[in-house]
Amino acid sequence: MKKRIAIFASGSGSNAQKIMEHFKYSQEAEVSLVLTNNPDAYVLQRADNFEVPSHLFDRHDFFETDEVVELLQRMQIDLIVLAGFLWLVPENLLKAYPNKIINIHPALLPQYGGKGMYGDRVHKAVLANKEGESGITIHFVNERFDEGEIIYQARFKIEKGDTLEMIKFKGQQLEHQHFPKVVENLLKKIVPENS
């Protein structure tokens, strides 16, 4: 049986798209579900384009009920991938999927992480500190923002005169290049729920 991936995203979903592309013809794994807290998220359109089912939930569903956990279990999800998902993961979900939830962050953790550090805010802080490099981090998710064990990092140089848009672009290129492969490698170590 193929291993089953669920992707959580709150916005555009360009990383979700790369992961769906990567596994579209795979015999090993598939993206089985896309979940979002944002009814206007473009990731919903992307999921539709790949004929991947999607699920919308709100704060109450996510933090006060087991609805999302039960859906993931019913769908025999093996790995949860956060790709631009901005809410903290609640304890019921962490407990149900120990070491099976990963996140991508657009900087070199442990720097430039934590609550409120997402998207452009991260890149702005990196630029304000005149860093010579930045990068991406893929890490396991725990009960605190951006603090789980690091799985993979890749870095790029920040040249003099680089704008916010330029470093955002460099980071996004790295994310798209590496995230699907990191997911694939991790899946190799996971025993499927439906075995």
Active-site residue list: 105
174 binds ligand GAR, rule: CB under 6 A: no
80-91 burial string, b = 16+ CB within 10 Å, else e? bbbbbbbebbbe
Q: Which of 5, 15, 20, 126 binds ligand GAR (CB under 6 A)?
A: 15
105 binds ligand GAR, rule: CB under 6 A: yes
The annotated binding site is made up of 13-15, 103
Q: Which of 52, 104, 174, 183 binds ligand GAR (CB under 6 A)?
A: 104
| Closer to ligand GAR by Cβ: residue 8 or 97 | 8
The annotated binding site for (6R)-10-formyltetrahydrofolate is made up of 103
| Closer to ligand GAR by Cβ: residue 14 or 76 | 14
14 binds ligand GAR, rule: CB under 6 A: yes
Q: How far apart are CA 187 and CA 111, in angstroms?
A: 27
Q: Across the beta sheet with 133-140, what order do the strands follow?
A: 54-56, 29-36, 3-8, 79-82, 101-105, 133-140, 150-157
The residue with tokens 């596994």 is 23
Least separation in angstroms between CB 171 and ligand GAR: 6
Least separation in angstroms between CB 194 and ligand GAR: 28
Least separation in angstroms between CB 104 and ligand GAR: 4
| Closer to ligand GAR by Cβ: residue 79 or 104 | 104
Do 31 and 52 meet the contact criterion of CB atoms below 8 Å apart?
yes
114 binds ligand GAR, rule: CB under 6 A: no
CA dihedral 69→18→15→103, nearest 10 degrees, is 50
Least separation in angstroms between CB 135 and ligand GAR: 11
35 is written with which tokens? 């979940």
Q: How far apart are CA 58 and CA 78, in angstroms?
A: 23
Backbone angles phi, psi at 70, to 5 degrees: -65, -40
What residues make contact with ligand GAR under the rule CB under 6 A?
9, 11-15, 83-84, 104-106, 117-119, 122, 172, 175
